[in-house]
Structure formats: C-alpha cells, structure tokens
Structure 1
Amino acid sequence: MESIKESVKHMPGFDKFQERYELMKQQVLTDPGVMRFLRENPEISDIHAEKLLSSFYTFKNEQHACRNCTGLENCPNLMQGYRSELTKVRQTVELRYKPCELKIRDEQKKSMSSLIKSYFIPKEILEARFDRLYKHSIDETRRNAISKAYEFVQMAGMGQQVKGIYFYGKFGVGKTYLLGAIANGLAEKGVQSLMVHTPEFLREMKSSLSDGSFDSKMELLKTVPVLMLDDIGAENMTNWVRDEILGVILQYRMMEKLPTLYTSNCDYDMLQQHLSFSQKGGLDEVKALRIMERIKHLSSPVFIGGNKNFREDY
C-alpha cells in the first residue's frame, strides 16, 4: 500500500505547492534573525531546522511587522504588542514573547491613569503635563506657582510630611490645569491622588445620601494620599456642607498629615467670609474660622496672576 506521503506527491498541483514551500523555506532560513539564531546554536542540524520552520516563519513575520510598526492598535502579531524571541529549550526551539516599547508605555499610561481619580474634571485637565505649562509667555507669579507645584511633586511620596498648596487668582489663569499637571507628576511616582471640582462634587454628595454611596465617597476624600479641591469657594455654602463635609474631611486629613491642595478665586480672607454664611441668616464666623484654620494648616497660599485667559488654550 502506498504511503500518505507518496500519495500526496501524485496529487494535482503538488509540484507548484512544492515550489512555493521551497521558496518559503529559503526565505525563512535566510532571514537575518533566523540565521543569527542558527549560528548561535550550531547543534541544530539542517534537518532539525526544517522541522522548526513553523516557529521560524512566525518569528520572521513578526520581526518584520515590528520593524515596520504602524502603532500598537495595528499590531498584527499573534500577541498584540509583544515581540517574539527564539529560545533553545533542550532539544527543541520555542517562541517566547516580551512586550515591545509601545506596549510598555501603554501599560505605564494605564497604570498612571488608575492612580488619578477625579470627579467632574474635564479630560484635557487630566492630560496636563508640566512641560506644557511653559508654552506660553508667563509672568513671575505664574512661574512661581509652577515652581511650587513641581517642588510639591518632588517631595510627595518621600516618607515625609508635605504641606499642600492653596492656589488662588482670578478665573482662567491656569489654576486647575496646574492641579492636573501635579496629578500626572504624582502618578509618575506611583502616588495616588483624587481631584474634584468642589461645587459639583458637593452637590453630588447631597444626592449620595439617598443612593447609599455617601460613606464610601467620604472615606475616599478623607484617606486618599493627595486630595485636590478645585474651585473651592464657588459652591453654595450651607451649614451641612461646611460642618459635615468640608470640616470632617479636613479635620481627618489634618490629623493624619495627608496633603490637600486647593484652587480658588478667593484669597484666604474672602474664603473665610464665604464659609461664614449661615442658612439662618447672619454670619457664623466661629465655624468659618475653624475651617480656615484647617485649610491654613494644610496648605500655603500661592497667588497666580496674569491677564491672559489660559483656558482658551487648553
């Protein structure tokens, strides 16, 4: 009885198939990467090498794809974002995979993003970087604010107590964007932060009393390694917001020595006046002063001036 191998030879089109196979084998075995591997492993005979053509073929094609890379999302490799490597294992050869540079950067970016939590913060703010802060003509107050922000990032996560910053100035001078740059700078160091737009978040806190998420949100704001309260002083002030939300959060953070950063259109005196308003009419200056003492204890004031509205450029 004729063997299967011999039977295949008599099938129509076998000659053309054999030609294509020989051409493919030649291309694979003369590939620079494959030839280098075979030189480094001279114990692999020609017969053995032919049996490994499938692995060599995959390696050749994937190396070609990597050399002509058009982006991680278009990667045609068997494992997207991974480079194949030929590895001698006992009497055979295996393909092993390592992440490419694009994959590594993508994973780092995802890891950084997971360290930055936010509520009601625009996407462009969450993509802020220190190197973009210098693309504009800036005055001395803005230069000082950037310097203080950068200094904070360098000191945070070093195992020592770090005081927060209270950035204040008029609308549109780049206070919120600066917080975004700080958040990304901290993420690069592996330090988690939470950035919230204070007026919107405080409105949500009221509704969270009914959906059962109030305690978990309060716990997050109290315990996150770095808290950033954006636009404080713009919220509708009530006794409950001041005493049961801001007061409780800031008291905990002061006791635990956790840094808090702020942005505001108000300086300290203006914010204290805002905090003193009472729903019952008149002023509650004692409770306002108590909140301000916590804010001052947790931060240093940094003014940002300038006449240009940078928000238009972000």
Structure 2
Amino acid sequence: MENISDAMRQYMDKHQLNENYQRLMASVYQDPTVKAFLEQHRDQLTNDQIDRSSAKLYEFVNERHRLENGEPTFAPGYEPTLVLNDHLIEVSYKPTADQRAKLKQQAARKRVSSVMMPKLIKNATFDQFEPDEDQQGTGRMAAANQAMAFIDAYIADRKHFHQGLYLYGSLGIGKTYLLGAIANYLADNNVRTTLVHFPSFAVEMKSAIGNNQVAEKMDAVKKSPILMIDDIGADAMSAWIRDDILGVILEYRMQNELPTFFSSNFSMDQLEHEHLAQTTNGDVEPIKAKRLMERVRFLAREVVMAGPNRRPK
C-alpha cells in the first residue's frame, strides 16, 4: 500500500476539492495519532475507505483538541479514540482519567448505605482524621490504627470472622467520623457497609409497624456484610426495640459471623448496667441486658477514644 499521506493528497488534487477542505484535512492527516492509526491499519483500509471516514477523523482530532484546551466537548468526561469497524474508521469515546476516578468514587459511595447518619460521613477519610494521641494509647490515632488493622485483616481474608470495634468515648471525639472513614475505605475495596444511627433507626422501626415494613427494614440492616451501629445508648430503649429489633439483629449477625461496629458514649459495662438493663417502662431486666451484651462482646472489641471535644463551639 502506498504512503497514506501522499495517496490522500493525490486523491484531493484529483477531485479538485476546495482549498479550505484540503487545508483542513491535510492538518487532520498530519496529526500524529491519526498517522499512527492509519499506518497500523494500512493493510485493512483502502484510500476510498479512508476518504469515507474523513468526517470521523476530523471529529477525532477536533474533539481531542477541545479536550486538551479545556473547551466544551461532545461528550464531557470522555475522550475520543479511533477504532476500525467494518472496514471504516469510527470514533469511540472512553472515560478520561478524571472521569474514571469520578465513576469509581460514585460506585464506592453506592456501597455505603446510611440510615439517618450525618452528611460528614460521606467524605470521611483517614487522611482527614487528625491524630490526638495520649500517653495511655487511648487517643484517636490508637483507634485509627486498630481500624486499619481490621481493614487489612478483612480485605486479606473475607471468609473468616473478624471482630469489629466498639468505639466509646466522650462527645465530639470523632467516633462517628472514624466509622465513616472505615466504611469509605472498605467501599473503595468493593465492600458494602451499612451505617445506622440507632436512636433514629429505633424511631423509624416504630413507624414501620403501621406500614408492615419492620421485617423488610430489619433484613436490610441485619444482613449487611459490614454493619455499623452508631450512638447506641444515646436514648432509652423500649423492651421491644431492645429485644425484638436490636436483639434479633445482633443474634443474626453473631450466628452468621458478620463484622459489626458500634459507637457509644458508654463503655460496654456501662451500656449493660446503666442502659440496656432498664427499659422506658422502668423495668429492670439485668438478665436480658447481659444476654444482649454477650452478642455485642462477641461481635466487637472495646476501644476507648479519649481526648477533647472537636466539634465547633
């Protein structure tokens, strides 16, 4: 096959095409990417087929220049590429590096389901989780290190059970944010997580009774590959929420060895004796509280987070 550029020049001269078109197409055929594509497929294309594809070649060069110059393009977020289709040249569009990163982030966010959780968890990352260590190893960084240890172990081996973390400490220390950072990191590694603000979830479950949606809503939570129960112990529980909602969820997750995280202002002992043992009716039921805490202790390891309140004053 003769030289592509010379052949096209002869073709344009032979057909006495107008000067503007010749100038326009000459620049297209001199484009390094176009020249390389034509050379790669020189045995698969005739001059006539190349001519019939001239509009596509022009589209490719024009769109790529627009993309390089930051101008509006035909397909925002996508870059043109040349392909051969049935002996004709076509333009295909593939995501740019920025678009691929954006699509990856969108896909990751879909792996994090939340129920009445604050917006801050959507963008929570370990990079933004500032250290605030103390000498006893109970600060934010110690908790973050244990969180990363869980992540590394879980990603390396998802077949076996891994205990989650029971994060407890004073208000504003960053417990909820850390849960969000863990969830987002796991999402980037194709792990689906559900975060539940438990006091709000309890209210939602009560409302679901009238709509016959209790089982459906509870299934979505209890079967999640990773479950994070935020702010447990913040509000007093009725016996029904404690036994038929929380108890059923934790029993299912214990039996199926599904990693579960918690955050609370109470230590495990405090949660058992000062919160779960007493219902909103004033009943004191230490045996039921103990049974529930056995499930919590099986599912998660207690981690204290100490330090100042970091919320804006």
TM class, shorter-chain normalised?
A: 0.7 to 0.9
Q: Are 1:166 and 2:166 an aligned pair?
A: yes
Q: How far did residue 90 of structure 1 move? A: 5.5
Among 139, 143, 146, the alignment partner of 2:144 is: 146
- Judged with a 3 Å threshold, the aligned counterparts in structure 2 of structure 1 residues 91 and 285 are, in CA distance, closer, same or farther, namely closer
Aligned-residue identity in percent: 37
- Matched position secondary structure for 1:211: coil
Q: How far did residue 259 of structure 1 move? A: 1.2
- What amino acid is aligned across from residue 262 of structure 2 in structure 1? Y
Among 73, 91, 95, the alignment partner of 1:99 is: 95
Structure 1 stretch displaced more, 81-90 or 204-213: 81-90
Q: Distance in 2 between matches of 1:218 and 1:50?
A: 63
Gaps of 5+ in 2: 1-16
Alignment match, 2:207: 207
- What amino acid is aligned across from residue 111 of structure 2 in structure 1? L
- What amino acid is aligned across from residue 69 of structure 2 in structure 1? N
- Judged with a 3 Å threshold, the aligned counterparts in structure 2 of structure 1 residues 88 and 282 are, in CA distance, closer, same or farther, namely closer
Q: Are 1:119 and 2:115 an aligned pair?
A: yes
Alignment match, 1:20: 20
Q: Distance in 1 between matches of 2:282 and 2:265?
A: 24
1:59–1:85 contact (8 Å) kept in structure 2: yes
Scaled by the length of structure 1, the TM-score of the pair is 0.85
Q: Distance in 1 between matches of 2:111 and 2:177?
A: 17
Q: How far did residue 100 of structure 1 move? A: 1.9
Alignment match, 1:76: 73
Alignment match, 2:295: 294
Q: Are 1:156 and 2:154 an aligned pair?
A: yes
Deviations 1:174-203 (A, max 9, x none): 000000011011111211110011111111
Q: Are 1:285 and 2:286 an aligned pair?
A: yes
Q: Distance in 1 between matches of 2:82 and 2:282?
A: 78
Q: How far did residue 26 of structure 1 move? A: 2.4
Q: How far did residue 89 of structure 1 move? A: 4.3
- Matched position secondary structure for 2:312: helix
Q: Distance in 1 between matches of 2:238 and 2:174?
A: 28
- What amino acid is aligned across from residue 192 of structure 2 in structure 1? Q
- Matched position secondary structure for 1:113: helix
Q: Distance in 2 between matches of 1:296 and 1:34?
A: 64
Gaps of 5+ in 1: 1-16
Map 1:158-237 to 2 at 5 A. Answer: 158=157, 159-237=159-237
Q: Distance in 1 between matches of 2:58 and 2:70?
A: 18
Deviations 1:24-75 (A, max 9, x none): 22222222222232333445566653332101111101221332347xxxx5
Q: Distance in 1 between matches of 2:129 and 2:87?
A: 58
- Matched position secondary structure for 1:266: coil
Q: How far did residue 244 of structure 1 move? A: 0.9
Q: Distance in 2 between matches of 1:144 and 1:280?
A: 39
- Matched position secondary structure for 1:242: helix
- What amino acid is aligned across from residue 234 of structure 1 in structure 2? A
Map 1:60-71 to 2 at 5 A. Answer: 60-69=61-70
Q: Between Structure 1 and Structure 2, which shows a larger proportion of helix residues?
A: 1
Structure 1 stretch displaced more, 88-97 or 210-219: 88-97
Q: How far did residue 285 of structure 1 move? A: 0.9
Q: Are 1:36 and 2:36 an aligned pair?
A: yes
Alignment match, 1:251: 251
Deviations 1:108-137 (A, max 9, x none): 112111110001112221211112113x54
- Judged with a 3 Å threshold, the aligned counterparts in structure 2 of structure 1 residues 253 and 90 are, in CA distance, closer, same or farther, namely closer
1:156–1:186 contact (8 Å) kept in structure 2: no
